[in-house]
Structure 1
Amino acid sequence: MTEDEPLVNDEDLYCIGCGAKIQTTDRDAPGYTPESALKKGMENNELYCQRCFRLRHYNEIVPVGLTDDDFLKLLSQIRDADALIVYVMDIFDFNGSVIPGLHRFVGNNPVLLVGNKEDILPKSLRRSKLKDWLRQRANEAGIHPIDVALVSAKTNQSVDSLLVQIDKYRKNRDVYIVGVTNVGKSTLINQIIRQNTGKADLITTSRFPGTTLDRIEIPLDDDHFLVDTPGIIHAEQMAHYLNGNDLKIVTPQKSIKPKVYQLNEGQTLFFGGVARFDYENGPKNGFTVYAENNLYIHRTKLENADSLYEAQLGKLLSPPSTEEDIEAFPKLVRHELKTAKKSDLVIEGLGWVTVPEGVVVAGWAPEGVAVILRDAMI
């Protein structure tokens, strides 16, 4: 090989971080790696594309030219596979975790539903009740899982139990891990790899959507594979409207500490500038908030809420915090709800407010982010 001859030619090489095919010619396309870095990566047997290298070492996201259709085409390979489908969802953002039309990709393959970020839930929340609720919501979305598991990929909680379930249900087949971006799918894969190989953080993970660019195959012990598929980009996620620093403030990071607010009719709670809760009608009551512990919650009168939001977005009511993010942030949409029994008003991706029976409330969330009412979990 001469000095001018490219290192990538007949032999296909793939980034071990995101799965993209390595190439050295197009800086803006997936898999780009400078030839100097490629040579070093091959020598060290740790080959990362430039995008993953920057993401791992500098937490710097580099956009690439893949569309939603590209992701869906990659995911459609599942239809022709004989495999167990492990469907990873964010417990705090079920609607944002739904892959539209997943049943078309699954075919006749069984689905094991995995609710991630279980460690953040209060201990008082009954896990069996949560599993039943996740199964019901999945059924509404056209998915009928053979079982439901709860894990924390970040802390490795219950991953052992999940592996036992996977082994039970896969029956000498491949295993496909699917999920939308930002639900912790690649983090879960990393925990599985760590337990099986001892290598840490092999797959690129970040708070940014769209990290895994192509399927990544991890060998199992019977000539089959565990396959990490690309994360489908779901536009209706709170994560898509905030930068990385603001997302840390909004997305629960540790076990939630409930906060109780005694509210009179006509009072409002602001969750930074990203959401809002109005107590429209009813006697004085206690409302319990389950959200990120560091998220600023501001109480005010309902009659002042609109003008306060307009004047204080990005200031008192933050996040969003930067001028650019404030300009791009969607308008808040109102969802009025009346409770027939004790219920949780859920703002997907943020948390929930436990509401007493027989009152009228309204939840406000960015346009496209779901606000739903469910039976109280606690």
Structure 2
Amino acid sequence: MEEKRRCPGCGAVFQGFDENLPGYLVPGKNPDDGVLCKRCFQMKHYGVYRKALLADPGIQKDIRAHALGAAALFLVLDVSRPEISLPDLDWAESMKKPVFVIANKIDLLEPWTTRKEVLQWLSERTGVRQEQILLVSAQNRGDMAELRRHIEETFDAGDRLLFAGAANVGKSTLLGALLKNEMPTVSRLPGTTVGLTEYRMANGPILVDAPGLKGEDPFVPVLCPDCLAALSPKKVFQSSIEVLKTGQTVFWGGLAQLIVADAGERGWVRLGIFAPDSVTIHRTREERIDGLMKEHAGELLVPPCRKCAAKLQTQSWREEQFQIHPEEDLVVPGIGWVALYSGACTAKLRAPAFVKGVRRPWLIPSPARRQQGKKKN
């Protein structure tokens, strides 16, 4: 049976019946010499994003089938939002193959912490040995050269290495840097890759790019492509330190709010607020939440855009209550987190019902702790 020809950018089987679906080949084009489907061409050259969401069970089935012949599995995660990817580690390890964790986008955290500290944090959180965790930035040539060397020295030229992980963790960017070409279609839109695609390294094994899993990112099924892209940092991760009293609130755009319900006897807490650079961070009081959401979601408070803001208004919203202790973060999956740097408090997370807050140990220590560490060094 002749193997179906696939778009080298996203892995979709070429087709000529629907230009709105992945894999559409413009009439007159031949699927040779790196020709891209219409969707990939528009994303790569014009920044026109189109979602093509796949069901996770189908993706996992394909990954399991390819894993049978793989020498190892590389789970790629976005180190600035690891909660999106960490649940995938369980089923990755269930395939009985060597598993390596590539923690991408480490450059987003380097203004506030060190690679050594992040490596230790990830190892403690995952139970994966530090030797099997690789911290990289796909934008850093030195990191990519070191990762390329590691792969070439560890695996044979005929080995297949399966790269998997959540949507929009940077797999395609990573593979493009390893291959030293622009063949995988790269965008800030989750769900760009829609089929398993193989690429051969010049002096190494075959790299298999799997579609990103969507299940752990609560906003992927709901927001439009532009709003989803806004949740992926353009250049940096923003951070601010805020002193909040009981009743004061922090907005992450129009997507979620953190309310200090009880700041204890002292009456205030010091929080570190972290979010992608496209997300509006706005501080106010609890009684102003409804008015601001009604008047400014999609305008002052972005993301979402106006259309997604209207869609979110039809969703059920809820408040989760958390006891946050010193040296803990409260994560809003898919958006950002707050770090409790001083005091102890009861906080309420107000967000759409499909968003569930997560407590974890500090990812980024307090400024005072960082200064102590510098003095010790």
Give the TM-score category using the shorter length: 0.7 to 0.9
Structure 2 equivalent of residue 353 of structure 1: 338
Runs of at least 5 residues in structure 1 that lack an aligned partner in the other structure: 1-8
Aligned ranges 1:203-352 → 2 under 5 Å: 203-220=184-201, 224-234=205-215, 236-282=217-263, 283-328=267-312, 330-352=315-337
Q: Residues 292 and 230 of structure 1: is their aligned pair in 2 closer, same or farther, counting only changes over 3 Å?
A: closer
For the Cα contact (< 8 Å) 1:271–1:296, is it kept in 2? yes
**In structure 2, what residue type is equivalent to 1:187?**
T
* SS at 2:29 equivalent: helix
* SS at 2:349 equivalent: strand
Runs of at least 5 residues in structure 2 that lack an aligned partner in the other structure: 366-377
**In structure 2, what residue type is equivalent to 1:166?**
I
Q: Residues 183 and 125 of structure 1: is their aligned pair in 2 closer, same or farther, counting only changes over 3 Å?
A: same
What displacement does 1:286 show?
A: 2.5
For the Cα contact (< 8 Å) 2:88–2:165, is it kept in 1? no
Matches of 1:319 and 1:228, distance apart in 2? 29
Structure 2 equivalent of residue 362 of structure 1: 348
Q: What percent of counterpart residues are identical? A: 27
Q: Residues 239 and 126 of structure 1: is their aligned pair in 2 closer, same or farther, counting only changes over 3 Å?
A: farther
Structure 2 equivalent of residue 22 of structure 1: 14
Q: Normalization by structure 1: what TM-score?
A: 0.82
Which deviates more from structure 2 when the two are superposed, residues 236-245 or residues 14-23? 236-245
Structure 2 equivalent of residue 6 of structure 1: none
For the Cα contact (< 8 Å) 1:342–1:357, is it kept in 2? no
Equivalent of residue 114 in structure 1, options 102, 112, 133: 102
For the Cα contact (< 8 Å) 1:98–1:180, is it kept in 2? no
**CA deviation string 1:189-241 (max 9, x = no partner):** 111111xxxx3x21112222222222222224677411112222326344544
Structure 2 equivalent of residue 74 of structure 1: 62
**CA deviation string 1:324-360 (max 9, x = no partner):** 5432464444332223323222222322222124222
**In structure 1, what residue type is equivalent to 2:332?**
I
Structure 2 equivalent of residue 5 of structure 1: none
Aligned ranges 1:3-82 → 2 under 5 Å: 12-25=4-17, 27=19, 30-38=22-30, 42=32, 45-62=33-50, 66-82=54-70
Q: Calculate the aligned-residue CA RMSD, in Å.
A: 3.1
For the Cα contact (< 8 Å) 1:16–1:203, is it kept in 2? yes
What displacement does 1:27 show?
A: 4.7
Structure 2 equivalent of residue 187 of structure 1: 173
Structure 2 equivalent of residue 150 of structure 1: 135
For the Cα contact (< 8 Å) 2:84–2:333, is it kept in 1? yes
Matches of 1:254 and 1:64, distance apart in 2? 25
What displacement does 1:289 show?
A: 1.5
Matches of 1:240 and 1:114, distance apart in 2? 25
Matches of 1:234 and 1:214, distance apart in 2? 17
Q: Residues 147 and 187 of structure 1: is their aligned pair in 2 closer, same or farther, counting only changes over 3 Å?
A: same
**In structure 1, what residue type is equivalent to 2:287?**
E
**In structure 1, what residue type is equivalent to 2:235?**
K
Matches of 2:56 and 2:203, distance apart in 1? 33
- Aligned residue-pair number: 358
